Amino acid sequence: AQRVTQPEKLLSVFKGAPVELKCNYSYSGSPELFWYVQYSRQRLQLLLRHISRESIKGFTADLNKGETSFHLKKPFAQEEDSAMYYCALMNNAGNMLTFGGGTRLMVKP
């Protein structure tokens, strides 16, 4: 069975502070992991995926297979980063995502 855990339901930081949203997974196969973001009143949208190794809106995430983690980081948080962030794991068939419970990020001015 595959499982994704996001230990923090809420993360509150001040503008300009570093941000790290934690994600741990359990999966017996080769993991493919994603971060999705949901801004207020907007659809769930893909932020980044580990196979792309890209930086989107200043966010990065590194897959650590030894620690089974895929934490999302940003060195300097902005107020517009306030949103719900979901870590997700895709199954081997590539047609199903298992989501973590989500972390609400609040960036205070």
Partner 1 sequence: KAGVTQTPRYLIKTRGQQVTLSCSPISGHRSVSWYQQTPGQGLQFLFEYFSETQRNKGNFPGRFSGRQFSNSRSEMNVSTLELGDSALYLCASSLVGTGSGNTIYFGEGSWLTVV
Q: Which residues bind partner 1 (CB under 8 A)?
A: 32, 36, 42-46, 49, 51, 86, 90-91, 93-102
Q: φ, ψ for residue 68 (rounded to 5)?
A: 45, 55
User: β-strands 103-108, 3-5: how paired?
Assistant: unpaired
**Minimal distance in Å, beta carbon 69 to partner 1?**
19
Nearer to partner 1 among residue 15 and residue 32 (C-beta): 32
**Minimal distance in Å, beta carbon 101 to partner 1?**
5
* Cα–Cα distance, 34 to 48 (Å, whole number): 6
**Minimal distance in Å, beta carbon 99 to partner 1?**
4
**5 in Cβ contact with 88 (< 8 Å):** no
Nearer to partner 1 among residue 94 and residue 109 (C-beta): 94
Nearer to partner 1 among residue 55 and residue 92 (C-beta): 92
Nearer to partner 1 among residue 93 and residue 109 (C-beta): 93
Residue that has been written with the tokens 């659809």 in this structure: 43
